[in-house]
Amino acid sequence: MANKIIIITAPSGAGKTTIVKQLLSEMPQLEFSISATTRTARENEVDGKDYYFLTQEDFHEKIEAHEFAEYEMVYAGKYYGTLKSELERIWQHGRTPMVDIDVKGALSIKEHYQDAALTIFIQPPTLDALRVRLSERGTETQASLEERLGKARYELSFSHQFDEIVINDQLAIAHAEVKALVEGFLK
Ligand code: ADP
Ligand code: 5GP
């Protein structure tokens, strides 16, 4: 089957980015799908590499022009979306897009691409572990940490709707499990 997609989703802080980065460095047949967002860049983030950082106005223009495969307001006033042009760009390279998106976005891409898409939900061992990881990552204010934890509780209730669930307790084990699932799907 041509034009597959791998979708990794999880509550914020579950370890999705860590696992995705490892897989991308090991599997040249995968390419990171760069999302568009209206949130501001973190200190170490680069426009066009981590995200396409857009103004609200530009983002809304792209919504109107049907340029998104999916988009969501993931956090209050902050939009994130997968551009159709980004998926096409990666398929044209002969690679498979690795899409790191929120739970709702993952479900809408799956609905569209069906068996061409593999959805993997990365689950934190507990909500307490998630709190520790998010605060140790040092990227959140107290308010945004609470917002992310609140959303995480909600997102965990969707886990059974994905093709696979991987619990990220020991990173090396979770990474190996995700890798095996991706390799099996791409075969
Ligand atoms: P996400 O992309 O899901 O928001 P990250 O990959 O940024 O999550 O991980 C959140 C934090 O937790 C990071 O600081 C990361 O180093 C750490 N982390 C990831 N996996 C584990 C794990 N299995 N055990 C402990 N810490 C972890
Ligand atoms: P962060 O602000 O930590 O980079 O990402 C916050 C959340 O937005 C994460 O759960 C991430 O997976 C999600 N996200 C990133 N890109 C997209 C996207 O293109 N679409 C959707 N629906 N969610 C996204």
Residues 1-39: tens digit of each pLDDT: 579 999 999 988 899 999 999 999 999 999 999 999 999
Minimal-distance CA residue to ligand 1 atom 11 = 133
State if residue 12 touches ligand 2 by the CB under 6 angstroms criterion. yes
Total domains, the chain:
1
Residue-wise burial string across 98-122, b where 16 or more C-beta atoms lie within 10 A, e elsewhere: bbbbbbbbbbbbbeebeeebbbbbb
The two tokens of residue 115 are 């068996």
The neighbouring-strand residues paired with 72 are 80
The model's pTM is: 0.92
Å from CA of 173 to ligand 1 middle: 14
65-108: pLDDT as tens digits: 999 999 999 888 999 999 999 999 999 999 999 999 999 999 99
Range of 104's domain? Answer: 5-186
Q: What is the pLDDT of residue 22?
A: 97
- 15 pocket-lining for ligand 2 (C-beta < 6 Å): no
* Rounded distance from Cα 2 to ligand 1 centre (Å): 32
Closest residue to atom 22 of ligand 1, CA basis: 171
In this structure, the residue with its CA closest to atom 19 of ligand 2 is: 81
In which residue are the tokens 């990474």 written? 175
99 Cβ inside 6 Å of ligand 2: no
- Altogether, the residues listed in the chain come to a count of 187
CATH of the domain at 161: 3.40.50.300
Question: Is 60 close to ligand 1, i.e. is its CB under 6 Å away?
Answer: no
pLDDT at 166: 98
